[in-house]
A and B are shown apart, each in its own frame.
Chain A
Amino acid sequence: MPVADTNNKVMRSAFIPALEKVFREHEECIFITADDGAPELDTFYQTMPERFVQVGIAEQQMIGMAAGMAKEGMRPYCYAILTFLSSRVHEFVKLDIAAMKLPVTLFGVGTGYSYSQMGATHHLVEDIALMASCPGLEIWSPSDPMTAAAMAQLSYETPIPKYIRLDRDPLPDLHGSLDGALQSGIRKVTTGPCDVLIVTTGIMTHQAMKVAAALAGEIGVGVLDVLRIAPFPAEELQYYMRRYSRPVVTLEEHFLHGGLGSIVASVITDGPMSRDLLRIGVPEKYTFESGGRQTIWRNYGLDVDSLVKRIREWL
């Protein structure tokens, strides 16, 4: 793995050092920031200043400039708070990067209610819907610091437009090793009996694991961690659905409309297998209540107790 000791770090602290290693090996990599920083970035711009571009709080410029650089053979990485890298600049991503198929990687921190205290301006519960609407744009969704670091390495290997969504909370490493998980795009992170499959991604994978622990002995919960949301690994999901032949729950910190649950519903509807499906996400509203992420989760039934109750009742 590219970086050791990622456990309990924030994803960014694992991702950026791994990316720095890529940059040291490949001088066509260029870092563009829209005035977003990180402690790990300091050495980056101090030691590679000629490959570090600060455009200021100007995300349209960041995306357009990156596309221009990529047209000339460079491999730009764009960094901003995630909502400003997706919903704020969607059309620039669509036309300058996805439509021209340019190898630009967008990455930032702020999935779901990561910036819980900062309110609706910084919450991001629609990025999957937006970014999955751009054909050819890969969406990567790490669930722990180690997978985030691995995605930094992977991002260089294929010259394809990418969007990498990092969470803001420190998280334990879930995946002992990744062997092939990034290639397949989905990984089962539980062992044992499986009476229901929870398909989830990012920080919600940790919630699903807690649900599995709480229901152990009563209901066997299998947790599938989706690491690549687009292109969605439909065949891999079908493999698990066939293998376990059980009801499916999707769990995400995202609107149901256009999110992971929608994608899984499409796979089931359009595919050969029929399954009972429960989709759990966030309500279709903007959130102004303070109190932090745990409070928001409790209000919206995404805390472990509510999830356990809801899944138990549904089954």
Chain B
Amino acid sequence: MIDVEYLAGKALELRRTVLAMCVRVGAGHLSTACSEAEIITALYQGGILKVDAQNPKWPDRDRFILSKGQGGIGLYCALADMGFFPKAELDNYLLKDGGLLGVHSEDNINGVEVLTGSLGHGLPLASGIAWALRQQDNDAMTVCLTGDGELCEGSNWEAMLTIAHQRLGHLVVIVDHNGGATIGHLDERVGANDGPVLEPLMDKFEAFGFETLRIDGHNLNEVMTVFGQYINRQRPMIGRSVCIIADTVKGKGIKSFESGAIFPNHYLSLKGENLINALNDLGMDADEFKEAVGASCGY
């Protein structure tokens, strides 16, 4: 039984927490975290990934590789909520003294498997992890979340060739397909800042040997159902790898990002009036927020 209401609450909490973390330091990948919120929430609080916060290196854990290392800020919220490290660490995000959590996820953080942030590394790493697990008769899943913009890195396609050749049945790629690159939109040809076109993306993954599905990455019911079916140890260890393309919206939950009124540059924090609007969108009280976060709110 999928408790969509509970998970929606967790996804909202993730967005609220990320907003506070970003505004406090005037930095961080806010819009990126918003697009991955339901994916991350389903994987962790939804119980899709078999992990143990009290024993982060549990050998039988599922391995989650955040290839889009910029999404670290969203992952941190889920990891803290699960108890991998104290929630108080989130308040230290990017702060000069004593902070554990940086912009990009690093493997010294409990619950983070590998260092990412330079794009196109996650899938090659995931292929090695999945291969090694199978070699050791460990049926744990290896789940790699990539951005869509990072699929422009050729190393992903190098990895896919080997993943298909090695028939790594317990490897699942999730694409956070929000359509946004740093300066333009993927899959559009409106401006010279747009592109390149990734579509037809499903056909590309299919052609590279993946069993490919497409879901609404913000519909928790759909996300949970498909994840539960495919991120599943009952599937053969030698077989087709799976790709789940999750269609998302960059900055989802913050209306000015969603509408394009503010270009959801992936390293843009908010302040002043834009921030107040975002707080409204997320159902947060502006005075309480300012008290918790401080002067950097700019209102």
Contact = CB atoms under 8 A, between A and B. Distances in A.
A71 B113 contact: yes
B284 to A, nearest CB: 37
Interface stretch (A89-97, A202-210, A250-258, A306-314): A89-97
Interface of A: 30, 50, 53, 55-56, 58, 60-61, 63-74, 76, 91-92, 95-96, 99-100
Contact of A95 (B118, B133, B136, B161): B118
Contact of A64 (B128, B130, B133): B128
A58 B165 CA distance: 13
Contacts of A58: 158, 161-162
Contact of B115 (A65, A76, A100): A100
Contacts of A91: 118
A283 to B, nearest CB: 32
Interface stretch (B40-48, B119-127, B192-200, B208-216): B119-127
Interface string B100-135: 000000010000011100101101111111111101
Contact of A99 (B115, B128, B129, B135): B115
B166 A53 contact: yes
B159 interface: yes
Interface in B160-203: 161-162, 166
10 contacts: A60-B120, A60-B124, A60-B158, A61-B124, A61-B155, A65-B131, A66-B128, A67-B125, A68-B132, A92-B124
Interface of B: 107, 113-115, 118, 120-121, 123-133, 135-136, 154-155, 158-159, 161-162, 166
The residue in A30, A64, A68 that gathers the most chain B C-beta atoms within 10 A of its C-beta is A68
A63 B114 contact: no
Contact of A71 (B128, B136, B154, B155): B128
B127 A61 contact: yes
Contacts of A61: 124, 127, 155, 158-159, 161-162
Contacts of A96: 114-115, 121, 124-125
Contact of B128 (A56, A60, A67, A95): A67
A5 to B, nearest CB: 34
Top 6 nearest A-B pairs by Cβ distance?
A: A68-B128, A64-B124, A72-B132, A61-B158, A65-B128, A58-B158
A64 B125 contact: yes
B124 to A, nearest CB: 2
Contact of A73 (B121, B126, B132): B132
Nearest to B159: A61
A76 B132 CA distance: 10
B258 to A, nearest CB: 33
B154 A65 contact: no
Given A69-B131, A100-B107, 7 more contacts: A60-B124, A61-B161, A64-B121, A69-B129, A71-B128, A72-B128, A95-B115
A92 B133 contact: no
Given A64-B124, A95-B115, A100-B107, A71 B129 contact: yes
B126 to A, nearest CB: 6
A65 B114 contact: no
Given A68-B126, A95-B121, A60 B131 contact: no
A31 to B, nearest CB: 13
Nearest to A66: B128
B74 to A, nearest CB: 21
Contacts of A67: 114, 124-125, 128
A92 B121 CA distance: 8
A92 B125 CA distance: 10
A64 B127 contact: yes
The residue in A30, A64, A95 that gathers the most chain B C-beta atoms within 10 A of its C-beta is A64
A71 B136 CA distance: 13
Contacts of B124: 60-61, 63-65, 67-68, 92, 96
Contacts of B161: 55-56, 58, 61
A161 to B, nearest CB: 14
Contacts of A56: 158, 161-162
Nearest to B132: A72
A64 B115 contact: no
Contacts of A65: 124-125, 127-128, 131, 159, 162
A278 B200 CA distance: 60
A67 B135 CA distance: 15
